[in-house]
């Protein structure tokens, strides 16, 4: 009588199923972490832009906010208030839309570049510096503040 060594087909199929399940859980966790990181980076970028706009306002006589994000980088601003990537209006999966209202006010919207993949929340901030959030549509002045 011969002794057989090795694994049966059923044992191999069970191991493959378990490995597939663990891989699925790991990938979804990594994607969710990336999604959350993009949203937190968008909030940080909004704060950076507001600070840059306030500094621009304080350093400009007569006082005025910048007419666009490119006003906050070289060659118009020396030294630059923000980096050139953020001044382009897109960073880490979010699109930043700056609107100059008048010398005393502006608005900034941050919306996911690919809704559901790079982020699900939309952000809004104006010269007050209060960042507002909306999960369903573009954020505005009536939306609640980010906590």
- 29-87: pLDDT as tens digits: 887 888 899 999 999 999 999 999 999 999 999 999 999 999 999 888 888 999 999 99
Domain count, the chain: 1
> Residue 122: what are its φ and ψ, rounded to 5°?
-105, 145
Q: Which residues contact 109 (CB under 8 A, 6 or more apart)?
A: 96, 97, 99, 122, 123, 124, 138, 139
- Residue at 85 is within a domain: yes
Its pTM stands at: 0.81
Domain interval for residue 63: 10-134
- Residue at 1 is within a domain: no
Q: Evaluate whether 110 touches 45 at the Cβ level (below 8 Å).
A: yes
- Residue at 5 is within a domain: no
- Residue at 83 is within a domain: yes
- Residue at 78 is within a domain: yes
CA angle 88, 91, 94 (to 5 degrees): 110
**Nearest CA-CA partner of 146 in 130, 128, 127:** 130
Q: Evaluate whether 133 touches 121 at the Cβ level (below 8 Å).
A: yes
């Amino acid at each position: 009588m011969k002794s057989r060594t090795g694994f049966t087909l059923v044992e191999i199929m069970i191991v493959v199923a378990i490995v597939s399940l663990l891989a699925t859980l790991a990938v979804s966790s990594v994607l969710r972490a990336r999604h959350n990181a993009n949203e937190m980076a968008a909030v940080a970028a909004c704060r950076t832009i507001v600070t840059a706009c306030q500094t621009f306002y304080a350093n400009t006589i007569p006082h005025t906010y910048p007419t666009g994000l490119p006003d906050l980088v070289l060659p118009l601003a020396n030294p630059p208030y923000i980096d050139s990537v953020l001044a382009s209006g897109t960073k880490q999966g979010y699109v930043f839309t700056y609107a100059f209202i008048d010398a005393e006010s502006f608005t900034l919207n941050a919306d996911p570049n690919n809704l559901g993949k790079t982020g699900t929340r939309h952000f809004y901030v104006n010269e007050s510096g209060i960042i507002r959030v909306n999960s369903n549509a573009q954020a505005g002045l009536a939306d609640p503040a980010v906590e």
